[in-house]
DNA sequence: TTGATATAGTTAGATGCCTAACTATATCAA
DNA sequence: TTGATATAGTTAGGCATCTAACTATATCAA
């Protein structure tokens, strides 16, 4: 790849990351949440109670990030934590009734975020974009996994 | 847009942002840099001496982020700062000889980053991807600008 | 000329993410 | 059974980014 292409690609990805995160934070703030918390809530809604290790894998972030996020969600009353009966090292997290009450608003916010994100597209179809982004996300997962010998699975 | 599409889009963008940033940080660490600094160095290389306000606009981040990044680059000896002769509020930043000496390695690192990023694509052509990402970046810029009344230009 | 407003930059403080280092528990082979 | 190793979670500390609030200088209209 030549430098011009590389520059355009990296620059677009930096912009996209920062701007989408900013828009997401704005949507979530309206619900009293901050970024990252939504991925845990959605995962718990979809899968039911999960250990923190499972949440880390699902959210694609490291255990300390989960520790901190779960503590904040617990303080908000949106999740509860209890020790696993099967593995005494593990902590199981689950949505509270209050947490479940947030789901509807969260879905709406997430749709609104996605619509704002693509509202200004001028020459790309949304379905094509989603397809390309899923492919890219998978490629980047592979590249990151190769980076870190701990994550060889 | 339905929820499934919105979820797929937002999730892919979150993953892409985090993973590309991680890979970028790894490349930059090899050069003794951290993330964000490269965008300032590249802008100074391309445009010549710039005020911090110009750098903020070019990098797409807020003035305090520039203050901090420029201070670190100055401590590393890669840029120098001097008051503008035209506007006594402004500070002009420029690359030092040591900063210029980094450019070659930085270009190589940026090409390597882009190649790792797309290495695992299975069904998307690189040129199509870059085109779609540029379109998306522009769309997100518009959406963010609309968000913040201060940035009405 | 002055007074209101806008702009350049900094400081302070917050957030989410990371790595490194640690404790406690599990697992598996000798 | 025991000893090495792997895994679950936490704590401490660092990074880039943000917003809010501030100082100093510019600009422009009354």
Q: Please indicate, yes or no, whether residues B115 and B145 belong to a single structural domain of this protein.
A: no
Phi/psi region, residue A111 (left: phi>0; alpha: psi -120 to 50; beta: rest), is alpha
B89 touches strand C (CB under 7 A): yes
Return the pLDDT at B101. 97
For residue A113, is it within any domain? yes
Mark whether B77 and B132 lie in a shared domain.
no
Total count of domains within chain B: 2
B86 and B153 co-located in one domain: no
Comparison of pLDDT for A108 and B148, the residue scoring more: A108
Do residues B30 and B73 both lie within one domain? yes
How high is the pLDDT of residue B149? Answer: 56
Residues B13, B80 within the same domain: yes
Same domain, B89 and B107: yes
- How long is the CA B59 to C1' C6 vector, in angstroms? 22
Residue A41 resides in a domain: yes
| In a domain? residue A95 | yes
| Bases of chain D with protein Cβ within 7 A | 7-13, 15-21, 24-27
Crossing angle (nearest 10°) for helices A37-47 and B3-30: 130
**B152/B81 same-domain check:** no
What tens digit of pLDDT does each residue of B83-119 get? 999 999 999 999 999 999 999 999 999 999 999 999 9
Neighbours of A136 (CB within 10 A): 26
CA A96 centroid distance within chain: 20
Residues B85 and B141 in one domain: no
Q: List Cα–Cα distances, A98 to A31, A56, A89, A92, in angstroms.
A: 12, 22, 27, 17
State the DSSP H helix or E strand holding residue B51, giving kind and residue range, or none if neither.
Answer: strand B50-51
Q: What is the rounded average pLDDT of the residues A8-13?
A: 98
Determine, yes or no, domain membership for A129. no
Of B2, B26, B131, the CB nearest to A147: B26
Residues B35 and B109 in one domain: yes
**Does B149 or A80 have the greater pLDDT score?**
A80
Task: Look at residue A152 in the predicted model and tell me its pLDDT.
Answer: 39
**A149, pLDDT greater than 60:** no
- Which among A126, A129, A144 has the least Cβ separation from residue B19? A144
In this structure, what token pair is assigned to residue B133? 């990402």
What is the residue range of B139's domain?
125-153
**Percent of chain A surpassing pLDDT 90:** 94
Nearest chain A residue to B108 by CA distance is A3
Q: Which nucleotide is nearest to B60 (CA to C1')?
A: D17
> Looking at the domain assignment, is residue A143 inside a domain?
no
Does A145 reside within a domain? no
Task: Give a yes or no: residue A147 inside a domain.
Answer: no
CA atoms of B129 and B1, how far apart (whole Å): 22
Same domain? B95 vs B71: yes
Return the CATH number at A48: 1.10.10.10
pLDDT digits (tens, 9 = 90+) for A35-59: 999 999 999 999 999 999 999 999 9
- In a domain, residue A144? The reply is no
Q: Of A15, A61, A114, which has the smallest distance from its Cβ to B137's Cβ?
A: A15
Q: Which residue of A has its CA nearest to B127?
A: A5
> Who has greater pLDDT, A25 or A150?
A25
pLDDT digits (tens, 9 = 90+) for B7-53: 999 999 999 999 999 999 999 999 999 999 999 999 999 999 999 99
CB of A127 closer than 8 Å to CB of B6: no
pLDDT number for residue A153:
33
List, in sequence order, every beta strand (DSSP E) within chain A: 50-51, 79-83, 91-95
Give the ranges where A31-89 is alpha helix by DSSP (H).
37-47, 52-59, 63-75
């Amino acid at each position: 790849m030549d430098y011009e292409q590389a520059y355009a690609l990296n620059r677009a990805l930096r912009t996209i990351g920062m701007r989408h995160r900013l828009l997401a934070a704005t949507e979530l703030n309206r619900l009293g949440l901050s970024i990252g918390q939504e991925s845990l809530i959605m995962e718990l809604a979809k899968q039911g109670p999960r250990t923190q290790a499972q949440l880390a894998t699902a959210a694609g972030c490291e255990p300390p990030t989960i520790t901190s996020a779960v503590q904040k969600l617990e303080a908000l009353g949106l999740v509860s934590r209890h020790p696993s009966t099967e593995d005494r090292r593990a902590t199981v997290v689950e949505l509270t009734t209050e947490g479940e009450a947030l789901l509807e608003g969260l879905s709406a916010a997430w749709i609104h975020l996605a619509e704002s994100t693509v509202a200004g597209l001028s020459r790309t179809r949304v379905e094509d974009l989603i397809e390309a982004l899923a492919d890219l996300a998978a490629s980047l997962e592979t590249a990151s996994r190769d980076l870190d010998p701990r994550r060889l699975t």
